Amino acid sequence: MYPRWLWPAFALPGVAWLLILFLLPFYAVVGVAFGSVDPILLTAVPAWNPLDWHLGWVIQVLSGLKPGGVYLDVFVRTVEYVLISLAGCVLIGYPVAYYIARHASRTKSLMLILLVLPFWISYLMRMLAWVNLLSPDGYVNRVLVSTHVISQPYGFLDGKSSTVIWALVYGYIPYFILPLYASLDRIDRSVIEAARDLGASPFRAFLHVTLPLSKIGLLGGAVLIVLPMFGDYYTPNIVSNAPTTSMIGNQIDLYFHGGPQPTIGAAITIILSAFLVVLMGYYMWTIHRASRELRSL
Amino acid sequence: MRGWITNPWGRPRFLPVIAWLYLVWSIVPVLIAVQFSFNTTRSTSVWHGFSTRWYWGDPVYSVWNNPGLRGALSQSLKLAAIDVVIATPIGVMLALGLARWRGRGSGASNFLMLFPLVTPEIVMGVSLLLLFTQLRPFTAISTGTAAQILGHVTFSISFVVVIVRGRLFSIGREYEEAAADLGASPTVALLRVLMPLLTPAIVASAAIVFAISIDDFVISQWLSNGPNTTTVPIVIYSATRGQPLPSTNAIATIMVLITLASVVAGFAVYRLFTRDERAQRPAAQGFADLGL
C-alpha cells in the first residue's frame, strides 16, 4: 500500500546522521592515531590518506602493553577492576533479581519501582552520595569509629582500589540487574515444576533449568556493564583521584585533557575499541536476534 | 539457606533479606546526599540543621545566586530540550524506516543504529572531539554548545528507535491495511492511523531522551569548551574532586528531580494513551473515531 521508496526515505535522515556523526568520527580517530606530531608545536598532524598512515604511535602503545611496558600496569588493573566489579554485580545481583522475579508477590511492584529508580538518578549524583558518606567525617567513618571497628577515620577516598571497585559495583549494578530480572521473569514456572516432578533436587533444578534459562540475561547484563566500565575514567577520578587507581579511560582522558598528546590518546582509543569490539558484536547480535523474533511474531 | 535448598517452594528466608538490603543500599545514599543539600553549614558530611541556604539563601554559593551553577543548570536544560526536538523526529522516522524497509543496506543500517548503544562513551567522546577539532570542514563547528547538541542527538537517536520500534511491532500492520481497504490513501493511513497509535511511544521516547541528555556527563564534558558550556554533571564532577559544598548536592538534587519528573510524566502519558488497549476494548474503536 505504501510506495516502495517511502521506508528507505524515512530511514535516510537518521542513517545519514549516524554515518556523519558516529561512523565518520572513528575515521577522525584513525587519522590522528596514524598521523604524525608537529615537532615544534607538538600538535597532532592527522593523516587522512591511508597511504600516508604510519603505524608508529599504535605500535608504541602496543609495545607499552608488553611485560615491563608503561601501559601494562594500567591495563592489568583495568581488567582486574572490571572483573572483580562484575563478580560483585553477579553475586549481589543474581539473588536480588531471582527473588524479585520468582518469589516477591505482594511487594513485587514496589520492589520493581525501587529497582529501576537508580536508572533515573544521575550517575554523578550517586557518586557524589558516596563521596559524602566516605569522607573522613562522613557517616561511614563515624559509625565505624563509634562501634570501635576502627580507632581513627579511614581514608576511603585517598586512592584505595577497594573504594573504586565498590563505586563501580554501586554505579553499574542497576544496568546488570534489569536484563537479568527480565530473563528470570520470563521463565515458565512449569518447566521448573517438571524438573522437580521428574525427581531433580531443588538445587539440580536450579542448576540445570533456571540457570541455563537465565543465561541470555546474565550474559547480556554482563556485557552491558563491562563495556562502559572499560571506558570509565570518572569513577576512579571522583572516589580516588590517585594515579595508583587509574584505569585505561583515565589514561585516555589524561592524554587529551592533561597534556597536548592527542595522538597517543587516539592510539589508545583505537586499541581499546579493538579489544572491546568482540563484546560489542556479541551484544548487538543478541539484540538483533531478539528484535528479529519480535518481528516474526 | 539450607532450609531453602531442601524446600524451595517454601518462602526463601535469606533471599528477601538480600533483596531488601540491596534496594535500601541502592537508594539511601542518594537520600542522604539530598539531606545534605539542606544543611545549614558548609559541610556535606556532618548534619547541622535544616535550611534552604544552598538553594537560594546564600548570596554567593547558592544555586540561585551563583552564576556558575545557574549557568550549568540552564545549559543542561537547553541541551536536553534541543536534543528532544531534533532526536525524536529523526528517531521516529528511522524506527519506521528500519522496521519496514527490506532491501540493500537495511541490514547494515540496523547494525549502524545499534552501535551507539554499545560503544563506550569515552570512545564516542574522543571521536567526536577529534572530528570537531581535526577534520575539515567540521572544524568550523569546533567544541561548544553546537558540538554538544550534535553529540547528544547522536547517542539519543538509537534510544528513540528502540522504544518506537517496540511499539511498532506490537501494533502490527492490520490497522493500516484495514484503513487502506476502507479507502484511505497512504498519507491518511500514515498520519491518521499509524501516528495516533505511535503517540504514546513517541512521548515516552521524548521523555527518556530528555532524561538521558540531562544526566549525560561524558559527551558534554568532551565537547565543552569552558565555563559557558558547563553542564550540571560537569559541575558535580569538578566539585567532588575539590571541596564539595552543599550547593553541589542542591544542584544534583534539582537535576534528579527534573529527570524523575520527565520520566514519570512520559510513563504516565504512555499509560494514559494505552489505557483502552489494556482494558481490552476492541482496538478497532479507533476507526470509528477516524470517521472512515
> Is residue B18 in some structural domain?
no
Distance from CA of B77 to the nearest CA of A (A): 14
What contacts A76, CB < 8 A, 6 or more positions away? none
> Is residue B286 in some structural domain?
yes
pLDDT digits 0-9 by tens, B36-51? 999 888 888 888 888 8
Cβ-based contacts of A114 with chain B (< 8 Å): 23, 26-27
> Is residue B32 in some structural domain?
no
Give the closest of A24, A136, A266 to B126, CB-based: A266
- Count the Cβ atoms, other than its own, within 10 Å of residue B13: 10
pLDDT digits 0-9 by tens, A251-280? 898 888 877 678 888 889 999 998 888 888
What is the pLDDT confidence band of residue A191, given thresholds at 50, 70 and 90? confident
Cβ-based contacts of B263 with chain A (< 8 Å): 120
Distance from CA of B59 to the nearest CA of A (A): 24
The DSSP result for B41-105, as a single string, is: SS-SSS---B--IIIIISTTTSTTT-HHHHHHHHHHHHHHHHHHHHHHHHHHHHHHHHHH--STT
Q: ∠ CA(B218), CA(B220), CA(B221), 5° rounding?
A: 65
Evaluate if residue B7 carries a pLDDT over 70: no
Cell numbers placing B118: 554499545
> Is residue B86 in some structural domain?
yes
User: For residue B210, what are the CA distances in angstroms to B116, B157, B163, B206, B233?
Assistant: 17, 12, 14, 6, 14
CB contact under 8 A, A31 and B96: no
Q: What is the mean pLDDT of residues A145-164?
A: 87
SS3 state of residue A54: coil
Per the listing, cell 554515518 goes with A19
Give the closest of B30, B118, B255 to A283, CB-based: B118
Residue B292 is predicted with a pLDDT of 25
Residue B192 is predicted with a pLDDT of 87
User: What percent of chain B has a predicted confidence (pLDDT) above 90?
Assistant: 42
Residue A149 is predicted with a pLDDT of 85
Mean pLDDT (chain A) is: 86
Cβ-based contacts of A252 with chain B (< 8 Å): 122, 126
Which domain CATH number covers B243? 1.10.3720.10
From chain A residues 136-165, the ones with a CB under 8 A of any chain B CB are 136-139
Q: Identify the structural domains of chain A with CATH numbers, from first to last.
A: 1-54 (no CATH), 72-296 (1.10.3720.10)
Q: What is the mean pLDDT of residues A50-55?
A: 79
What is the pLDDT confidence band of residue A220, given thresholds at 50, 70 and 90? confident
Q: ∠ CA(B143), CA(B149), CA(B150), 5° rounding?
A: 80
> Is residue B24 in some structural domain?
no
User: What percent of chain A has a predicted confidence (pLDDT) above 90?
Assistant: 28
Q: ∠ CA(A277), CA(B149), CA(A254), 5° rounding?
A: 55
What is the pLDDT confidence band of residue A296, given thresholds at 50, 70 and 90? low
> Are B201 and B209 contacting, i.e. CB atoms less than 8 angstroms apart?
no
- Count the Cβ atoms, other than its own, within 10 Å of residue B174: 10
Which range of residues forms the domain containing residue B219?
Answer: 72-290
Q: What is the mean pLDDT of residues B181-201?
A: 87
Radius of gyration of chain B (CA): 24
Q: What is the mean pLDDT of residues B93-120?
A: 88
Evaluate if residue B275 carries a pLDDT over 60: yes
pLDDT digits 0-9 by tens, A15-38? 999 999 999 999 999 988 888 777
Evaluate if residue B286 carries a pLDDT over 60: no
What contacts B190, CB < 8 A, 6 or more positions away? A2, B176
> Is residue B5 in some structural domain?
no
Sign of CA dihedral A212, A217, A218, A222: positive
- Spatial distance between the Cα atoms of A286 and B117, rounded to a whole number of angstroms: 13
Number of domains in chain B: 1
Evaluate if residue A85 carries a pLDDT over 90: yes
Nearest chain B residue (CA) to A284 = B114
> Are B232 and B105 contacting, i.e. CB atoms less than 8 angstroms apart?
no
Evaluate if residue A144 carries a pLDDT over 50: yes
Distance from CA of B213 to the nearest CA of A (A): 10
Higher pLDDT: A164 or B4? It is A164
Per the listing, cell 476494548 goes with B281
Per the listing, cell 554482563 goes with A222
Distance from CA of A48 to the nearest CA of B (A): 9
Nearest chain A residue (CA) to B118 = A280
> Are A249 and A227 contacting, i.e. CB atoms less than 8 angstroms apart?
no
What contacts B98, CB < 8 A, 6 or more positions away? A11, B106, B109, B110, B113, B161, B165
Q: How many Cβ contacts (< 8 angstroms) between chains A and B?
A: 290
In one-letter notation, the amino acid at residue B288 is A
pLDDT digits 0-9 by tens, B60-79? 888 888 888 999 999 999 99
Evaluate if residue A185 carries a pLDDT over 50: yes
Residue B257 is predicted with a pLDDT of 94
Cell numbers placing A53: 598512515
Residue B4 is predicted with a pLDDT of 53
Cβ-based contacts of A112 with chain B (< 8 Å): none
> Are B62 and B255 contacting, i.e. CB atoms less than 8 angstroms apart?
no
Residue A50 is predicted with a pLDDT of 79
- Spatial distance between the Cα atoms of A265 and B38, rounded to a whole number of angstroms: 41
Mean pLDDT (chain B) is: 85
pLDDT digits 0-9 by tens, B122-146? 999 999 999 998 888 887 888 889 9
What is the pLDDT confidence band of residue B285, given thresholds at 50, 70 and 90? very low
B201-231 b/e (C-beta count within 10 Å ≥ 16 → b): bbbbbbbbbbbbbbbbbbbbbbbbeeeebbb
Q: What is the mean pLDDT of residues B171-196?
A: 86
What is the pLDDT confidence band of residue B6, given thresholds at 50, 70 and 90? low
> Is residue B58 in some structural domain?
no
- Spatial distance between the Cα atoms of B123 and A290, rounded to a whole number of angstroms: 26
CB contact under 8 A, A120 and B186: no
Q: What is the mean pLDDT of residues B186-202?
A: 87
pLDDT digits 0-9 by tens, A115-141? 989 988 999 999 999 999 998 888 888
CB contact under 8 A, B19 and A173: no
Cβ-based contacts of B219 with chain A (< 8 Å): none
Evaluate if residue A212 carries a pLDDT over 90: no
> Where would I find the H helices in chain B?
2-6, 14-36, 67-100, 106-118, 121-134, 145-171, 174-181, 186-188, 195-215, 218-222, 232-241, 246-273, 275-278, 285-290
CB contact under 8 A, B97 and A9: yes
Interface membership of A274 toward B (CB under 8 Å): no
Q: What is the mean pLDDT of residues B214-242?
A: 91
> Are A169 and A92 contacting, i.e. CB atoms less than 8 angstroms apart?
yes
Nearest chain A residue (CA) to B24 = A114
Sign of CA dihedral A51, A53, A55, A58: negative
Give the closest of A10, A232, A234 to B96, CB-based: A10
User: What percent of chain B has a predicted confidence (pLDDT) above 70?
Assistant: 91
What is the pLDDT confidence band of residue A44, given thresholds at 50, 70 and 90? confident
Residue B287 is predicted with a pLDDT of 30
From chain A residues 42-101, the ones with a CB under 8 A of any chain B CB are 44, 46, 48, 92, 95-96, 98-100
- Complex ipTM: 0.89
What is the pLDDT confidence band of residue B181, given thresholds at 50, 70 and 90? confident
What single DSSP character describes residue A260?
A: S
Residue A86 is predicted with a pLDDT of 95
> Are A138 and B45 contacting, i.e. CB atoms less than 8 angstroms apart?
yes
Higher pLDDT: B277 or B236? It is B236
> Are A240 and B241 contacting, i.e. CB atoms less than 8 angstroms apart?
no
CB contact under 8 A, A21 and B128: yes
Give the closest of B30, B101, B177 to A129, CB-based: B30
Per the listing, cell 571541596 goes with B243
Select from A90, A122, A142 the residue whose CB has the most chain B CBs within 10 Å, as the one to mutate to test that interface: A122
- Low-confidence winner among A199-208, A286-295, B108-117, B260-269 (lowest mean pLDDT): A286-295
- Count the Cβ atoms, other than its own, within 10 Å of residue B35: 16
> Is residue B223 in some structural domain?
yes
Evaluate if residue B5 carries a pLDDT over 80: no
Nearest chain B residue (CA) to A264 = B126
Evaluate if residue B2 carries a pLDDT over 70: no
What is the pLDDT confidence band of residue B282, given thresholds at 50, 70 and 90? very low
